[in-house]
Amino acid sequence: MKLIKGKHRLSKILAHYMVLSVLALLCVFPFWWTFVVAISSEGNIFEFPPSFVPRSVSFDNFSEVFSVIPIWSFYKNSLWITVLTVAWKLVFCSLAAYPLSRMKFSGKKLIFALILATMVLPSEVNFLVNFITMTQLGLVNSYTAVILPNVVNAVSILLLKQAFDEVPQDLIDAARVDGASEWIIFWKIVLPLITPWLATVGILSAVEAWNEYIWPSIVLSKPEDFPLSAGVLYLRGTYGSSTRVIAAGTILTVAPILVAFLLTQRFFMRGMDGAVK
């Protein structure tokens, strides 16, 4: 009987690993194929069946990227936009989530429901309204126009609200009895306790801001102000383009945020574990 249970458990574990392996392969495949194309110098990249191993390794495609576009300037722009977006999103979303979690006021449930309702709408729906707003404010062709519409979103507010919900109410009540104001409770007591959740929101926001392409292309017209995700388009050229060079530019775009995510994934997992609980 024990042997049968052991075999059943082993088969179940193997089935789980097989499913996870297939999912991992599907996720890694596009990046790997792009990397192979970027470092290859020979062969037809559109042949079938495709080659997943480079026949002749060369880094000339990466060198051409640096010579064709001002990639360091694009890197600086992307970093500046990402840092400011993450910083302001953490400030505004935490300030919005705390009263929804710990304060009592009329209309709280309605406001929270309206915030959650925005999650069903694609971000592209807001482009026209946001562009008109930025134009009326005179912010077009500035980083403020890129950052401002992205400093608040429903997902970040929801995650941080759940984080505030996890803080023991007795701790907050004790602080209020001692005469602490709501600002002191928020800033010095509650906020330090949800650091893993703040890290999670920060990582998600950084990935989103770094990869943002459509909105910066709409509100920025000067090529020197473009972030890397939009600036890489100049690799296409006017009369022709090299798929290998574009693949190299794509790798250079994805690599920094991928490395940053790998280095901070333990904070991300801690935050997501708390959000699930």
110-167 residue pLDDT tens: 999 998 888 888 877 888 889 999 999 999 999 999 999 999 989 999 999 999 988 8
69: domain CATH number? Answer: 1.10.3720.10
Task: Give the whole-angstrom CA distance, residue 138 versus residue 27.
Answer: 41
100 and 202 both lie in a single domain: yes
- Helices assigned H by DSSP within the chain: 2-39, 60-68, 71-102, 108-117, 127-136, 143-147, 154-166, 169-177, 182-184, 191-193, 195-211, 214-219, 228-231, 243-276
pLDDT of residue 1: 55
179 and 265 both lie in a single domain: yes
Last residue of a domain, one of 58, 85, 100: 58
230-277 residue pLDDT tens: 888 877 764 446 778 888 888 888 888 888 877 777 766 665 554 444
144 and 16 both lie in a single domain: no
Last residue of a domain, one of 42, 58, 74: 58
127 and 255 both lie in a single domain: yes
Mean pLDDT, rounded, for 217-226? 88
Paired tokens of 95: 């300030």
Query: How many domains does one find in the chain?
Result: 2
pLDDT of residue 239: 40
10 and 134 both lie in a single domain: no
Q: pLDDT averaged over the chain?
A: 83
Mean pLDDT, rounded, for 51-80? 85
Whether pTM exceeds 0.75 = yes
pLDDT of residue 174: 87
40 and 140 both lie in a single domain: no
Residue pair 230/210 in contact by the 8 Å Cβ criterion: no
127 and 155 both lie in a single domain: yes
Which domain, by its residues, includes 8?
A: 1-58
4 and 92 both lie in a single domain: no
Does residue 73 or residue 15 have the better pLDDT?
73
Task: Give the whole-angstrom CA distance, residue 164 versus residue 35.
Answer: 41
Mean pLDDT, rounded, for 204-230? 89
Last residue of a domain, one of 22, 43, 58: 58
Mean pLDDT, rounded, for 42-66? 76
193 and 261 both lie in a single domain: yes
Q: What is the DSSP string of 4-18?
A: HHHHHHHHHHHHHHH
5-47 residue pLDDT tens: 566 677 778 888 888 888 888 888 888 888 888 888 766 666 6
pLDDT of residue 92: 94
46 and 151 both lie in a single domain: no
Residue 215 reports pLDDT greater than 80: yes
Residue pair 194/160 in contact by the 8 Å Cβ criterion: yes
Q: Sort 220 into a burial class: Cβ within 10 Å, 0-12 / 13-18 / 19+.
A: buried
161 and 197 both lie in a single domain: yes
91-107 residue pLDDT tens: 999 999 999 988 888 88
Mean pLDDT, rounded, for 178-200? 87
31 and 90 both lie in a single domain: no
pLDDT of residue 84: 94
Q: Measuring CA to CA, which residue among 143, 272, 260 is closest to residue 207?
A: 260
